[in-house]
Amino acid sequence: MHVVAQLLTPGRTICRAPGSSKKRLFETLASVISKDQPTLSDSDVFSQLIARERLGSTGLGGGIAIPHCRIAHCTEPMGCLATLQEPIDLTRPTISR
């Protein structure tokens, strides 16, 4: 349980997050992460999430997705847990350039 407490903090937990698209959701996640971790800019987190999603969808199906990325100056693993206000249509194409 201690490992989970290190990965997920109350500050990086969102209930009923807004976002009608993957892009909007990634903007929300990036904002939440950068507010909790001031050394990470929201634009850097957002661009890395988008870059990873372009490689292939991180949606697993059944309403579950695990968007993830690497950021060069992020020295420890961290997570952000979110439930959505409205489901996102995953049948749409992945994020384009």
Query: Is 68 in the active site?
Result: yes
* Active-site residue identified among 24, 54, 68, 92: 68
Task: Tell me the C-alpha distance between 85 and 94, whole Å.
Answer: 20
CA 22/CA 87 separation, integer angstroms: 10
Number of H helices, E strands in the chain: 3, 4
Active site positions, annotated: 68
